[in-house]
Amino acid sequence: MDPFRLTLSEAAYLIRENSLTPQELLESLLQRIDDLEPRLEAWVSLDREKAAATAKDYSREASEGKIRGPLHGIPVGVKDIYHAIGICTTAGSRILADYVPGYDATAVRRLKEGGAIILGKTETTEFACFDPAPTRNPWNIDHTPGGSSSGSAAAVSTGMCPAALGTQTGGSIVRPASFCGIVGVKPSYGRISRYGVIPVSWSLDHVGFMTRNVEDAAILLGVLAGYDPRDGSSSTLPVPSYDKALGFIDTPKLGLVKGFFHDNASEEVREAMEDAANRLRGAGAKIEVADLPDSFSAVHSAHRLIMIAEAAAYHEETFRKRAMDYRPNLRGMIASGLLVPAPSYIKAQRIRSQFSHEVADAFEGKDCLLMPSTTMPAPCGLGNTGDPAFNSPWSFSGLPAVTLPLSLSNDGLPMGIQLVGHPFDEERLLRVAKWCEDVVSFGHNLSHGARLPIQVDKF
């Protein structure tokens, strides 16, 4: 079996058992990239020489019984808004075309400390906003992979790497993960440090990642989570052993959120969601309808106002000097953000605080909330990255969210279910996600015979 087909947890186990070397795994992944990259364009850059040298060292260490951490020898992709020593950070923009940082983002540093090999930088929309990356959806290359973590989603989906970092301000992890048929995790706001990550919106940005199953997600979160004094929003709460907690759950209690999430879903998504709920009930889950507070009606407009105002504040100085070097969508967003009155921004922040407080009532007696991951499968065309409306409320409130691949549309495109958890209770969220994955997910697990993205075999 080709090593690129292994999940993170499978590859890590084989490396610990000396049945696979990091060099063999890296070589398989690089060959996979060489085979697929010309059509998918998931990568901005590959750090081949450094990755090869590191894989050689880690192979020797593993043979001597020295394991650096749970990710020893595992190559990981990094979205191109994270700083990594010696690798250009372009943020998908000509503004930073030649910028090479001299330090690692905390998330990158923790990956390395956990034994991971940084494979390279994955494509992003410009500054993780709206102007699309060149990446194509591997299930149908005429469709968007989603954004802004476009390259990370396509790379993980096709076995170019077993995991990749992303970020989410609106729906930039959950949406592309769903569109590409994989698992995406947006933890609670502050659970993973944002130090060394180029911001979109300080109030809304989340660090997260994509994997091919929930077990891998639990391992990765355990490496990345934890307090960082260099990030003022970083949580001091202790980090559980997420991977060890996966198997301990009774049948879950889920709150099915309808209303907005039913009315704005396509017919195919509604039918898939109903089928998933019935299958979960059939397996023993207790599901009842959950109502969101009245403040939900203002969430999307308040979210956008905060995002554009804070993005404009970050880019203001550069924008005044180089406005025409920004692509059209981001240029318009910054210009609009600079016009946001202070009272409007403050009111939007008050709505954020109110909704975050009031939404707790929807969780009463429930382990998680359940809803579709996206309004529709990945839309045709590469001019936009899809609608984040089903994801932005959870970025707005800071609640943790996971998307699981559910089924394929009539056009052969993935659809997903989204689980939203209690604040900083990713342990329970991942346990529920693993239970649901076993019941309903088609599980994009390349080593167990699940389907590859349809058009990959035609490349």
Q: Which of 59, 172, 392, 395 is catalytic?
A: 172
Nearest Cα residue to 370 out of 243, 267, 272, 294: 272
**Is 253 an active-site residue?**
no
Sign of the alpha-carbon torsion through 143, 209, 440, 260 = negative
Residues 6+ apart with CB under 8 A from 457: none
Q: Please identify which of the residues 28, 93, 148, 150 carries the catalytic annotation.
A: 148
> Do residues 116 and 222 make contact, with C-beta atoms less than 8 angstroms apart?
no
Considering only CA atoms, which of 237, 241, 243 is closest in space to residue 211? 243
E strand map for 280-372: 286-290, 368-372
- Which residue of the set 9, 28, 79, 121 is catalytic? 79
Cβ atoms of 117 and 76 within 8 Å: the answer is yes
Residue 172 among the catalytic residues: yes
Q: Which CA distances in Å does 384 have to 36, 133, 380, 418? A: 22, 9, 9, 22
The per-residue DSSP string of 152-211 comes to HHHHHHTTS-SEEEEEESSSTTHHHHHHTTSEEEE--TTSS--TTB--S-TTT-EEEEEE
Whether 148 is catalytic: yes
Going 415 to 422 to 249 to 153, the CA torsion angle's sign is positive
For residues 415-440, b (16+ Cβ closer than 10 Å) or e, as one string? bbbbbbbbbbbbbbbbbbbbbbbebb
Cα distance between residue 231 and residue 118, in whole Å: 22
Tokens (6 digits) for 352: 């954020």
Q: Which residues are catalytic?
A: 79, 148, 172
